């Protein structure tokens, strides 16, 4: 993995990598305190604030521990970039599970980074909001969340303000991490 933005792999001694380890420690602590169980949605108010990079680097850092298996769900089906950052081609995934009634097991990709697997976004759809509001999607998220007791699920979503999908996903996860870019995101 050569992408320079994956600092938790390529520059483990950097200050940025250390910040992701601090974030991981906080997430693990909240999980142990029962404040947060096993799933976390990562979003941002608007695009370009670093939510996908935060999702990836947090997932990588957690997967490098011995105690956690991690599933990163690429739920930003409007602009999927997780696989691109990992140097992989787009593949079938989450949307295909819902639309074709297929098992998620068919689409999980082992990354070779610790115990990190990725569920890709899948094929593009014209109606993402209807897809995420469907009962089938809710059942898939429930399965993802509860199948393995030691698995931590990180869900990378679309930005919160311009799109409705994160509101539906938030109902299916235990916590929400909001990524804001200093100097860009206004309090409003």
pLDDT at 123: 94
pLDDT at 36: 76
| Distance from C-alpha of 27 to C-alpha of 38, rounded to nearest angstrom | 10
Interval 53-70 mean pLDDT: 90
Long-range contacts, 125-128 (Cβ 8 Å, 24+): 125/77, 125/95, 125/99, 128/77, 128/78, 128/158, 128/163, 128/165
Q: What angle do CA 156, 158, 164 make, to 5 degrees?
A: 125
Interval 145-164 mean pLDDT: 90
Interval 156-162 mean pLDDT: 95
pTM over 0.75: yes
| Distance from C-alpha of 92 to C-alpha of 121, rounded to nearest angstrom | 7
Per-residue model confidence as pLDDT tens digits over 85-144 = 999 988 899 999 999 999 999 999 999 998 999 999 999 999 999 999 999 999 999 999
């Amino acid at each position: 993995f050569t992408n320079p933005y994956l600092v938790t792999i390529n520059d483990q001694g950097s200050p940025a990598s250390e910040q992701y380890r601090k974030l991981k420690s906080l997430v693990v602590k909240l999980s142990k305190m029962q404040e947060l169980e096993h799933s976390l949605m990562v979003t941002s108010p608007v695009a370009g604030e670093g939510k996908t990079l935060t999702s990836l680097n947090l997932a990588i850092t957690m997967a490098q521990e011995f105690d956690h298996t991690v599933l990163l769900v690429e739920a930003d089906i409007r602009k999927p970039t997780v696989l691109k950052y990992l140097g992989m081609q787009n593949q079938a995934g989450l949307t295909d599970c819902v639309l074709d009634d297929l098992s998620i097991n068919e689409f999980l990709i082992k990354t070779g980074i610790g115990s990190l697997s990725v569920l890709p976004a899948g094929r593009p759809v014209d109606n993402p909001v209807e897809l995420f509001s469907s009962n089938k999607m809710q059942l898939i998220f429930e399965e993802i969340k509860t199948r393995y007791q030691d698995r931590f699920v990180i869900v990378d979503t679309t930005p919160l303000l311009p799109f409705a999908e994160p509101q539906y996903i938030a109902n299916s996860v235990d916590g929400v991490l909001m990524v804001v870019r200093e100097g860009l995101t206004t309090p409003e």
